[in-house]
Amino acid sequence: MSSPALLWFRNDLRLADNPALAALEGRQVLPVFLLDDASPDRWAPGGATRWWLHHSLQRLGAALAALGTPLLLLRGRAEIAIPALADAIGATEVLAGRRYEPWAREADRRVHEALAASDRKLRLFTSTLLHEPHRIATGAGRPYGVFTPFSKAVLAQVEIPAPLPAPSRLLGLAHPPAGEALADWRLLPQPPVPDWAAGLRATWHPGEAGAVARLARFATGAMAGYAKGRDTPEGETTSALSPHLAFGEVSPRQAWHVATAEPWRRQLLWREFSYHLLWHRPELPERPLRPAYADFPWRPDDRLLHAWQQGRTGYPLVDAGMRQLWRTGWMHNRVRMVAASFLVKHLLQPWQDGASWFWDTLVDADLANNSASWQWVAGCGSDAAPYFRVFNPVLQGEKFDPAGAYVRRWLPELARLPDSLVHRPWEAPAEDLARAGVRLGETYPRPIVDHAAARQRALDAFAALPKSAAGALEDNAA
């Protein structure tokens, strides 16, 4: 009989369309998940990520057990724990989906080396993306820096394979080693910290079954109106598949074949593009891709940052988004753009501070997407928004939330204002405020900055950047 294999789950917590799982081909297997939240060289999982991970691992463990083998839970550094485990069970191969974060690539390289030293193999599969990010290049062999040609190249060159079926049973080890207990990892909010996860529990169903259900629900529901409806933050207008994709509870290939609407598929391609950028520019999460922006005159200010984080800027659309994020771990994409733009341009806070907050609070926290999107908003990324494009949170609110339904849901203190004032409460006459029970500065803050003045300040700051280098993606000194 052939030797057993180690099936190393990372961010592909599913059984269907899992190429590492399919590569077992009936061999004995030990599935393992390794939590590395202590290494200093990586972005440790944020609070919302930890909550989701707990539930997703619970579901994956149950699904694997039903097929014939438990899921082993371990903690530690991959380059030590994985080779040791392979050695302990006599596995000659470790199978896993490929990861693309800089630290993960480095860790995989070390795992590969350590395994090779004892004649074992690490086999990595394309699992969380449609296509390997390093296998797309321009005609000149360079990485793409603009989305549209990148997406055209992917569409022209890549055949998206049909998803693989889930196995109907697995052959586990007769005596699998004992792992750790999920509860001991303390991934959920623990006393004395208040239970902030109630809104997450009410909103989400982590795990493969929840992911597949969410995808099917979108394909038969909101997808038909997605091209127009996706900009409306209130109501079920998007797929809300992002956290499931981030944890790999459903694969992008599955999503591609089920959710066929072109504008939605383009969002999947944006995800590919973010990973393409991260692959070629591993500094993406830390530093602006456009070198001139390294000298941008940010004005770090904890008071402003906290007001933004808590949804107390005085601009209803921004505040509603930030409170939706805090309560549910998710924010509608249109509102993300407005809220992010507000932090960076109106408040002149470094985009990295916004990215950190999103990383901690988003259930769909994804290093490539989050970093690329913040750089896009800040104007220092690939294909970034021109610097003069400053969202007006009032106009955005009135355009995409005209009846104020979204703002009222997340800011109940403004719920009784009339539609015409709900996005600009500071302009409300005293009698309207009184009738709605709003006391500005008490029940809801006055605007933390004046829009027109803040906009001009941002334009001036961007205009002062060195012109020649302001747009360049590459550092010419390199």
How many whole angstroms separate alpha carbon 398 and alpha carbon 259?
A: 30
Handedness of CA 137, 138, 141, 142 (dihedral sign): negative
How many whole angstroms separate alpha carbon 308 and alpha carbon 325?
A: 12
**Total length of the chain:** 478
How many whole angstroms separate alpha carbon 442 and alpha carbon 178?
A: 55
Least spacing, CB of residue 453 vs DNA, in Å: 11
Least spacing, CB of residue 132 vs DNA, in Å: 17
Q: Per CB under 7 A, which of residues 326..355 are in contact with DNA?
A: 333-334, 337
Taking CB under 7 A as the rule, does residue 256 contact DNA?
A: no
Using the contact rule CB under 7 A, the part of the chain among 79-87, 147-155, 191-199, 305-313 near DNA is: 147-155
Q: How many residues bind DNA (CB under 7 A)?
A: 46
Least spacing, CB of residue 470 vs DNA, in Å: 7
CB 52 within 8 A of CB 164: no
Taking CB under 7 A as the rule, does residue 390 contact DNA?
A: yes
Least spacing, CB of residue 148 vs DNA, in Å: 3
Taking CB under 7 A as the rule, does residue 293 contact DNA?
A: no
Q: Cα-flanking dihedrals φ and ψ of residue 197, to 5°? A: -95, 5
> Nearest to residue 245, comparing CAs of 280, 269, 281?
269
Q: Per CB under 7 A, which of residues 47..106 are in contact with DNA?
A: none
CB 381 within 8 A of CB 346: no
Least spacing, CB of residue 333 vs DNA, in Å: 6
Count the Cβ atoms, other than its own, within 10 Å of residue 10: 20
- Near DNA by CB under 7 A: residue from 134, 142, 299, 306: 142
- Near DNA by CB under 7 A: residue from 388, 402, 403, 418: 388
> Which is nearer to DNA, 57 or 378 (by Cβ)?
378
CB 123 within 8 A of CB 97: no
Residues 6+ apart with CB under 8 A from 427: 421
- Near DNA by CB under 7 A: residue from 264, 342, 391, 444: 391
Token pair belonging to 289: 């891709």
- Near DNA by CB under 7 A: residue from 25, 194, 430, 467: 467
> Nearest to residue 347, comparing CAs of 304, 306, 378?
304
> Which is nearer to DNA, 57 or 268 (by Cβ)?
268
- Near DNA by CB under 7 A: residue from 150, 264, 279, 330: 150
Q: Which residues in this chain contact DNA in the complex, by CB under 7 A?
A: 138-140, 142-150, 152-153, 231, 266-267, 270, 333-334, 337, 373, 376, 383, 385-392, 395-396, 399, 451-452, 455, 459, 463, 467-468, 471-474
